[in-house]
Chains A and B, each alone.
Chain A
Amino acid sequence: MELRAEIPSGPISTKWSRHRFEMRLINPANKRKYSVIIVGTGLAGASAAASMAELGYNVTSFCYQDSPRRAHSIAAQGGINAAKNYQNDGDSVWRLFYDTVKGGDFRAREANVHRLAELSVAIIDQCVAQGVPFAREYGGVLANRSFGGALVSRTFYARGQTGQQLLLGAYQALARQIGLGKVRMFSRHEMLEVIVIDGRARGIVARDMVTGEMQAHLADAVVLATGGYGTVFHLATYAKGCNTTAIWRAYRKGAAFGNPCFTQIHPTCIPVTGEHQSKLTLMSESLRNDGRIWVPKNKGDRRAPDTIPETERDYYLERMYPTYGNLAPRDIASRAAKKVCDEGRGVGETGRGVYLDFADAIQRLGRPAVGEKYGNLFEMYERITDEDPYKVPMRIYPAIHYTMGGLWVDYNLMSTLPGLHVIGEANFSDHGANRLGASALMQGLADGYFIIPYTIGHYLAANPLSKADADHPEARRAVDEAGQRVRRLLSIKGKRTTTSFHRELGAIMWEGCGMGRTEAGLTSALAKIPALRDEFWRNVTVAGEGGELNPSIEHAGRVADFLELAELMCLDALERRESCGGHFREEFQTADGEALRDDANFCHVAAWEHQGDGRPPKRHVEPLSFANVPLATRSYR
């Protein structure tokens, strides 16, 4: 396998415009002769499907939810970055580029990040035109707020529901194309295999989740927009249905997996309450604009928060990082929370929590102003915890929130399996080892609206394809494989439920491959995971039958894939003998306890190639060069 990043030559600020000119085009009348499959209908998938259909391609779109509007992009709360500089505070495309490369701790590809920053401005324009009700100032212009890792106000938002509103914009654009007959929509369909013909991705096998029927769908190119894989940890801020199956099946068919260990742990989530916990809920990072994070100075101080005097509180982010304060990037804020809890200063029943306090903000701005900004988040918090954050500080703790890793893609967003493109969180691309807040929405929409519609045409024009339909032997074989797997899962009839395996896997991963990673911890996880996987295939019980609506069989297939992915993540974390961004190897830290990169040996992307079951995967390397943002130690102090 050879990793060819296909980065255009020339100065970084003209690479994309030059590439757009150099890419091959397809005559508008000929576009209708091509078909594209897009799996997933989140920000990336819905925007790609709509935009490609507008261009004239025949698009087939799939989602596992009952409606494309429900993809988990909908839950993004805080906002979307764009280098508009509407605030006149010194923002620019270059600054957004710089902040994102630095925020990612120098493990992202410069050319991709610059393109992302360039496109950010067009995204806002597009979304406004679609009717996304962004927050406004009294004069009618767009409002902004600040987010972690930046000293400018460049985040656009729609209350605490920015993801919802952006997704509805993309969903409505998609709905319009469905109504026009340019997109065929398959909801409640789950992709289980990639169909590869003559070395190229030509289709997918999907299971109709209502009837259980396995179907082959063929096209000229396939786009995966299936999101991240953080639910490998069982407890995460992801939706319950989020899974790795689509990208994992593609990995097994030849798509390299980039930086699988790069996961983001979000500092502000509602803490775990008990064994029954099925997911964790995020409290938007935007709350850190006005909320102050603190713990008691003294260990084991169990007093009620309002009875702890100011002098006995430790506003540790403001103390440790005076420049960025409560707006330090996510990886840094998460580790700091873990550190104070490890010291025995955590709050709440479990001691795994810190306060996020709005008392000062309420005093300064008044309750109505705080309510206008964060009201829906406060309500959500109150529903879950039965505590009123207007009166009592929120209790928060870090949780798994995003995966920077994903399938490796070149500059054109194509994986190492020709014809298979990967967009949004499902690819590894733009965030390096740590994603900044409000950048996920930006990347999903940049990929879907403004990159893949161009690059897919370039691929199709350059690669004439033979005809293929569902009767092709490779298509039939893939359908058979997917069917056999379901039958095998149903035939085990063991003693343990899929959820119990998932929970145990999550505990292993959180312990071994979570916020702090060590050689010993990873080695131990690498011993436990294969053992758990063996037990799964001997002892899982899956209720019901294959030919019906059966959530049990869906979960079983997903957990089976997580049990393979988890091992690759730990292997990647073990091999990357440095700390960077969210990947914190405890052996590699500065005297102050910050991440210590090893640029001499690890300034690269690790892309893993599947070598077959029972054989170790092969680690390939794409070297990264930083010609425009010089390598430096991140400092937010």
Chain B
Amino acid sequence: MNLTLNVWRQRNSASAGGFAIYEAKDISPDMSFLEMLDVVNERLIAGGEAPIAFDHDCREGICGTCGMVINGAAHGPRARTTACQLHMRSFRDGDTITIEPWRAKAFPVLRDLVVDRRALDRIIQAGGFISVNTGSAPDGNAIPVAKEDAERSMDAAACIGCGACVAACPNASAMLFTAAKISHLGLLPQGQAERRERALRMIATMDAEAFGACTNHAECEAACPKGIGIETIARMNRDYMRAALRRRPPAAAGGGAG
């Protein structure tokens, strides 16, 4: 296949970026999208040009490192598929493909297609955990968990933290990401003790990190490579409202474990 790439190039977070056009010739339909970029980069390096910087690691759709907007869609045209699992057979010979970084105020561009997603880590640091120190756990079977609860919790826990939900949202909201973690932990008996505090803290941090609000576009659900649904957002809103109505004086950060 022969393709034309229209790629966002930006030297660093301080510089202005712009699109550049590259020809990608003799591409095999069996290549993954990232392997196609590898080939283009090898040719750029051979020609003395700087390769296109993009984030990637496991290349099997689980680490959540890769992320780029391909022809206007986060992770590209195929549903429930990360950019690294997208294969060139999803495109046609002669296509022009536009490739951009995640666009969100909370995700500053570091270079080309690479963005800084540490804001997502900070949301987890605010309360996306169960406070249990190593060594203090009861026997694994001491707490029965209904199979259905475990399965639904797992559905939400499948989030890979790639940020596609933020990139797809017109408001650059991180509601789906935050709600997935709140659902994962809130659906399990182990997660009940901190359920209210968790919702309050994570949402406060989400807002402080300059993510937008949710206005029910559901673009996040459509873009999520792991198929996480917006019912998690409803669950989060419920937790948040309950917690806000029964608000008590705030405890120390991290569940007072320090």
Contacts and interface: CB of A to CB of B under 8 A. Distances in A.
A128 B190 contact: yes
B254 A159 contact: no
A72 B140 contact: no
A497 B147 contact: no
B161 A69 contact: yes
A68 B117 CA distance: 12
B121 A126 contact: no
A179 B130 contact: no
Contact of B150 (A72, A133, A164, A187): A133
A58 to B, nearest CB: 13
Contacts of A66: 55, 65, 116-118
Contacts of A551: 51, 53
Contacts of B12: 548-549
Contact of A158 (B28, B49, B51, B154): B154
27 contacts: A54-B134, A67-B117, A70-B57, A125-B140, A129-B138, A130-B129, A130-B132, A130-B137, A134-B140, A136-B145, A141-B141, A164-B62, A164-B158, A164-B160, A171-B124, A179-B253, A239-B58, A239-B59, A276-B35, A281-B60, A383-B78, A386-B89, A499-B42, A543-B45, A548-B12, A551-B51, A552-B45
Contact of A129 (B11, B154, B158, B190): B190
A11 interface: no
A161 B55 contact: no
Interface string B119-147: 01100111111111111111111011111
Contacts of A274: 28, 30-31
A548 B111 contact: yes
Interface string B84-114: 0111010000000000000000000011001
Main secondary structure of the interface of B (DSSP, over half): loop
Nearest to A180: B254
B218 interface: no
B208 interface: no
Interface in A174-197: 175-182, 185, 187
Given A125-B138, A133-B154, A276-B28, A187 B118 contact: yes
B184 A133 contact: yes
Interface string B11-35: 1100000000000000010111011
B184 A552 contact: no
A133 B138 contact: no
Interface string B195-236: 000000000000000000000000000000000000000000
B57 A497 contact: no
A54 B135 CA distance: 11
A276 B87 CA distance: 12
B245 interface: no
A133 B154 CA distance: 6
Contacts of A463: none
Contact of A549 (B80, B111, B128): B111
Nearest to B136: A129
Nearest to B89: A386
Contacts of B120: 67
Nearest to B256: A180
Nearest to A135: B150
A371 B143 CA distance: 27
Contacts of A134: 140, 150
A133 B157 contact: yes
B146 to A, nearest CB: 6
Given A175-B129, A383-B61, A450-B134, 18 more contacts: A54-B134, A69-B64, A70-B57, A127-B140, A129-B190, A130-B130, A131-B153, A161-B158, A175-B124, A175-B128, A239-B58, A273-B30, A276-B38, A278-B34, A380-B85, A497-B45, A500-B42, A544-B51
A126 B137 contact: yes
A278 B158 CA distance: 25
B257 interface: yes
Contacts of B135: 122, 126, 449-450
Interface of A: 47, 50-51, 54, 65-70, 72, 74-75, 84, 86, 122, 124-131, 133-142, 158-159, 161, 164-165, 168, 171-173, 175-182, 185, 187, 210, 239-241, 273-274, 276-279, 281-282, 379-380, 383-384, 386, 449-450, 453, 497, 499-500, 541, 543-544, 548-552
Contacts of A386: 87, 89
Contact of A70 (B45, B63, B87, B188): B63
A141 B141 CA distance: 6
B146 A384 contact: no
A142 B45 CA distance: 52
A75 to B, nearest CB: 5
Of A122, A130, A281, A453, chain B has the most CB atoms within 10 Å of the CB of A130
A239 B45 contact: no
A65 B65 contact: yes
A140 B117 contact: no
Nearest to A279: B59
A175 B121 CA distance: 7
Contact of B57 (A65, A127, A453): A65
B81 A180 contact: no
B170 interface: no
B50 interface: yes
7 smallest CB-CB distances across A and B, nearest first, come from A140-B144, A129-B137, A172-B129, A179-B125, A125-B137, A133-B154, A51-B134
A129 B62 contact: no
Contacts of B32: 278, 384
Nearest to B126: A179
